[in-house]
Amino acid sequence: MSEFAPSNSSARVENRSRPRRALITGGAGFIGSHLAESIIASGGSIVAIDDLSTGDRSNASHLPADRFRLIKATVAEGLAALGDDERFDEIYHLAAGVGVDLVLERPTEVIEGSLRNASAVLDAARRWRCPVLLASSSEVYGKSERVPFREEDDVVYGPTTMTRWSYAYAKGMDEFVALNHHQRHGTRAVIARFFNTVGPRQSGEWGMVLPRFVSAALRGEPLRVFGDGRQQRCFCDVRDVARILPVLLRRPESAGGVYNVGGDRLISVRELAQRVCAVLGSVSRIELVPYERAYAPGFEDVAVRQPDLTRLRTATGFEPTISLDQTIRDLASWMRQSGAAPQAGGPVARAAGGGN
């Protein structure tokens, strides 16, 4: 992997003989680094923009320097460094604040940054005349009680006085901007609503549930679940997600569409904690923690979060191939090798939303 500071780059002439060239914002992050790895494995090359606020150089350190370049910068700085003469075959906008903890601690930063970055990337895609995939979130559905969530369903949010809903509002606005770009300017924008993507290189620093649980289990410490643990979620391995995103974006018919991306097998948070202990042979106990101890009073959780994957399956034939047990084992292996396991005895594990 090579890295360079923002600077004006020279023009590149489109050449059909060259490998497919992709731009990934958040390219040193959890999903971004796996996506870069997948595209490179299929013969492509990557330019990544990442300010490393939640990403990490080590996530992409194994990628070949002649196929992967990292611009350490904000999205706006990175796009300016590339300049209008740059050419890409596709853009993946994955840079975003992630995790319930981060949203609650820095709501203004997350909201303003989300819309600003999405607008900048869409403007770049319009100039460069290339398709762009915007990462959205299952949070967009809010607290809708219609299950499974379908892309055209109405959404239900809590009041603006509750910071917990700020991320949902922000991602919803990103989607509006992207769809408007498609309708007004012909920008080939595709929206992917991620549902709890998990796997190696995922940090529990900002409250992601599976790495928190795996870290605690490896240390023999309690796996903390708040509420009664009956909240149900669906998890999908990041490597399955990474391989399907290019397939989705490269379909001309996908432009202007919204797609749920993830797994659709439900598991309760308490069952997830039990599963982690069983797979890893951990003697850790499960500790139930009241919501009011985990978050501010009045925090609202979503009882069931399950995607309807009909649209994605019809478009791409997508089916997850990596089991949850394998994901748990691989995440644990990565934590052991990298020393990335967070201090499980610290803040309460945020197991409510758990991911995306």
Express each pLDDT in 296-352 by its tens digit.
Answer: 666 677 899 999 999 999 999 999 999 999 999 999 999 999 876 544 433 333 333
Among candidates 109, 3, 115, which has minimal Cα distance to 50? 3
Residue 157 is a catalytic residue = no
Residue 194: other Cβ atoms inside 10 A = 25
pLDDT digits (tens, 9 = 90+) for 247-267: 999 999 999 999 999 999 999
Contacts 24+ apart (CB under 8 A), 264-268: 264/148, 264/234, 264/306, 264/307, 264/308, 264/309, 265/234, 265/235, 265/324, 266/232, 266/233, 266/234, 266/304, 266/306, 267/232, 267/233, 267/234, 267/235, 267/324, 268/229, 268/230, 268/231, 268/232, 268/233
For 88, 240, 248, 317, 318, the CA distances from 243, given in Å and listed in that order, are 19, 5, 9, 12, 10
Among 157, 167, 169, 295, the active-site one is 167
The residue among 96 and 209 whose pLDDT is bigger is 209
Among candidates 269, 136, 286, 265, which has minimal Cα distance to 209? 269
Q: Check pLDDT > 70 for residue 72.
A: yes
Instruction: Please give the backbone phi and psi of residue 55, each rounded to the nearest 5 degrees, phi first.
Output: -85, 180
Are residues 201 and 59 in contact, defined by beta-carbon separation less than 8 angstroms?
Answer: yes
Which range of 100-104, 105-109, 128-132 scores highest in mean pLDDT? It is: 128-132
Sign of CA dihedral 107, 270, 272, 230: negative
Residue 353: other Cβ atoms inside 10 A = 24
Q: Which DSSP symbol is given to 10?
A: P
Q: Among 16-30, 42-56, 143-157, where is mean pLDDT lowest? A: 16-30
pLDDT digits (tens, 9 = 90+) for 210-233: 999 999 999 999 999 988 899 999
For the record, the structure tokens of 20 come out as 């497919």
For the record, the structure tokens of 246 come out as 């290019």
pLDDT digits (tens, 9 = 90+) for 78-105: 999 997 778 899 999 999 866 556 666 7
Report domain extents, the chain.
2-11+19-197+236-262, 202-234+265-305+321-338
The residue among 354 and 210 whose pLDDT is bigger is 210
Radius of gyration of the chain from Cα atoms? 20
Asked if residue 131 has a cis previous peptide bond (ω within 30° of 0), the answer is no
pLDDT value at residue 346: 38
Question: Is 202-234+265-305+321-338 in CATH node 1.20.120.450?
Answer: no
Superfamily of domain covering 2-11+19-197+236-262? NAD(P)-binding Rossmann-like Domain (3.40.50.720)
Facing residues of 189 across strands?
132
pLDDT value at residue 340: 66
